[in-house]
A = this chain, B = another copy of it.
Amino acid sequence: MERIERHASHGGFQEVWQHTSSTLGSGMHFGIYLPAAALAGRRCPVLYWLSGLTCTEQNFITKAGAQRYAAEHGLIVVAPDTSPRGENVADDPAYDLGQGAGFYVNAAQQPWARHYRMYDYVVDELPALVETEFPASAARAISGHSMGGHGALTIALRNPGRYRSVSAFSPIAAPSRVPWGEKAFGAYLGADREAWKQHDTVELLRGATERLPLLVEQGGDDEFLESQLKPELLQAACEAAGHPLQLNIRPGYDHSYYFIASFIGEHIAHHAAALR
């Protein structure tokens, strides 16, 4: 494991590390923000942030402005890349499949099955690494944007007790029923839609055993609102299951990092309260 970037930021350090992931069979980068408390050797709780389509570990750490709030609350924030990477890793020319579009699943189909195991990477390998190599406690929270919002919600729902809190910005809440999800799940998981249910928030809510409240932020002018995101399906599924949901529709806001930056402070405060 090697540190490839280190920048002082709000009294702590924003770092980028590269390591070889045994889960993915690929070199991977991740961003990690270490607040002053962590630098002083105290074990700090960790917020995992999962990014959206086309993103690397850079988008969130350069654009979201999360460091200020992480510093304030003494949180470590870990932001992995969105897929395995490299010349030997299968890819597709489209932006919504292959590298940059791992969808936080374990692929079962060729040519994806060998490397595309972002679910296991995020759930197991990355936290184990973070909790061994950094002053991180085992108190975890998870959030993300768009494809990463889908990742955060599905991973939290499938792993009761593993996260103290979960939130999402503009999540792909019902991937089985929208073009981005249908394309990716068809390629990675195959034609049998039964297998898709394990990676679909709306489907997982039916069988959820832990009532971890979902905090979801959604821009009212998001260009993908009706075609890909469908927060009304999430709302209906939470109502049907009796699952606690705080869905904030923000009029005028779009799908960009300007939206995330506007509300990341509130989400980090939410996670910090649960992690305390």
Contacts and interface: CB of A to CB of B under 8 A. Distances in A.
Q: How many copies does the complex hold?
A: 2
A67 B265 CA distance: 13
A229 B17 CA distance: 29
A46 to B, nearest CB: 20
Contacts of A265: 68
Nearest to A254: B7
Interface residues of A, number: 25
Contact of A9 (B62, B68, B261): B261
Q: Looking at A7, A65, A254, which has the most chain B CB atoms within 10 Å of its CB?
A: A7
A32 to B, nearest CB: 13
Interface in A233-259: 250, 252-254, 256-259
Given A9-B262, A65-B261, A67-B258, 13 more contacts: A7-B258, A7-B259, A8-B253, A8-B259, A9-B261, A10-B262, A11-B262, A13-B252, A14-B258, A63-B63, A65-B65, A67-B262, A68-B262
